[in-house]
Amino acid sequence: MSNQTVVHSRLESQPSADSWPVATIRKRNRQPSRPWWLAIATLLSLSASAQDWYLQSQASLDSFYDDNVRLTSIDAQSSMGAIVRAETKFGRRTEAEEIAINSGISSRRYTGVSELDRTDGFLGLNAAYQLERSRFDLDMRIDYDSTLTSEVETSGFVQTNKRRTRISAAPSWTYSLSNRASLAFGTRYTDVSYEDVGLIPLYNYQMTSSNLNGTYLWSERMQLFSRLTFDHYEADEVGTSSDTIGLLAGGAYAISERLSLTAMLGPRFATVETPTPFGSSENQDSTGMLVDISIEQRFNVGKLGLSGSQALLPSSSGDLVSTTSAGLALDYPFDSRWSLLLNANAYRNRNPGGEEDINDRDYVAVEPRLRHKLGDWWALDLGYRARYQKYTEQQESALSNAVFLNLDYTPAAH
């Protein structure tokens, strides 16, 4: 994160778009605290009654045409293709606990550029347990995907199809100090590796993040937040590492019954260690701002969300990337069966130290869709997507236009 202002909300963390978040656990009557070993045993127990178990599923079939499928500034290639997706979530939920397994698979096929064909998948575990004052959460996930989509927020290397494996684990603990105040501690470990990259500048890396959060309910309309963060990044193949400390403060305010604002900001301090040609290393310090802002407007039906952020994100370039981002999401049903949807995202990536870098770039994607509900479980989407990407060291920018038709199937949970 450099000294640029923000834009794309990343209030930790948004769950991946490929999975469902663990459902919020309902408050229960206070009861005596249980030993930690009993909490774990109860969480993993499979002796629950049948009504505690649930299964959710979703499937879709997408067809598309893209006039620059690799998003390159020269020798653009067009392609038609299809994407088949399927996801499931199976778990057990009670008033005090939940454990769920998420899984998904998607297969993409292209005409004329078969080297981009791929099959991706993910497997995740979400668990939560509520005691009288404490709540324990655990999120684990394995992604096996492609650089065609995985690098959009950071390096932008979406021109080649290289396999990426991402493994993450994130335990957290929240303690209720009173009816108004709570403390939370969480940590996340992420390991990312790439296959068969050759001379392409894609480097394996590891990231460990920890944070301490404080929350205070000031009034019925206002909630105050504070957060202390520490991040450690390593890219062993190039010998770089960095440590970042951040301190944020902010709050959430209900401006009206339908309009709400959430904002956090504060300074960050980063130290980057890089190897020298003489076998030693040199350190470089940088400072900047951390920003996280989101606004939500709810209508009688539907809602509009705006978000922005500035943060140091781990990247495949062998270093952290200062990323300023913005997002817009609109879901507006204008009929019992018709809806207008709009998603837009923008990213500006820069060197945290302020120097020019070959990976400095700007990226924008806008995707409007028209959705028609065919029934309770079926929906048909007709959409258009425009993408723009420009590296500061390249004279030409890349543009892509795509149209698609999607058929979605989402049966009721049972």
Maximum Cα interatomic distance, the chain, rounded to a whole number of Å: 69
Interatomic CA distance for residues 145 and 166, integer angstroms: 8
pLDDT for position 129: 96
Decide: 132 and 33 in contact? Cβ < 8 Å.
Answer: yes
Interatomic CA distance for residues 366 and 117, integer angstroms: 24
In a domain, 308, yes or no: yes
Domain total of the chain: 1
- The tokens describing 46, both together, are 């499979």
User: For 214-257, how does the pLDDT look when each residue is reduced to its tens digit (9 = 90+)?
Assistant: 999 999 999 999 999 999 999 988 889 999 999 999 999 999 99
pLDDT for position 16: 38
In a domain, 18, yes or no: no
Spacing of C-alpha 28 from chain mean position: 30
In a domain, 4, yes or no: no
Decide: 329 and 265 in contact? Cβ < 8 Å.
Answer: no
What's this model's pTM, rounded to 2 decimal places? 0.83
Domain span at 93: 36-409
CATH no. for residue 54? 2.40.160
In a domain, 261, yes or no: yes
Which of these, 408, 218, 240, lies nearest to 320 by C-alpha position?
A: 240
Q: How many CB atoms lie within 10 A of CB 10?
A: 21
In a domain, 2, yes or no: no
In a domain, 29, yes or no: no
In a domain, 224, yes or no: yes
Which of these, 358, 341, 359, lies nearest to 349 by C-alpha position?
A: 359
pLDDT bin (cut points 50, 70, 90) of residue 42 is low
| Cα separation of the two ends of the chain | 44
55 - beta bridge partners?
A: 90
In a domain, 301, yes or no: yes
- Angle (CA) 385-391-394 rounded to 5° is 120
Interatomic CA distance for residues 20 and 102, integer angstroms: 8
pLDDT bin (cut points 50, 70, 90) of residue 10 is very low
Which of these, 72, 81, 142, lies nearest to 114 by C-alpha position?
A: 81
User: For 254-275, how does the pLDDT look when each residue is reduced to its tens digit (9 = 90+)?
Assistant: 999 999 999 999 999 999 998 8
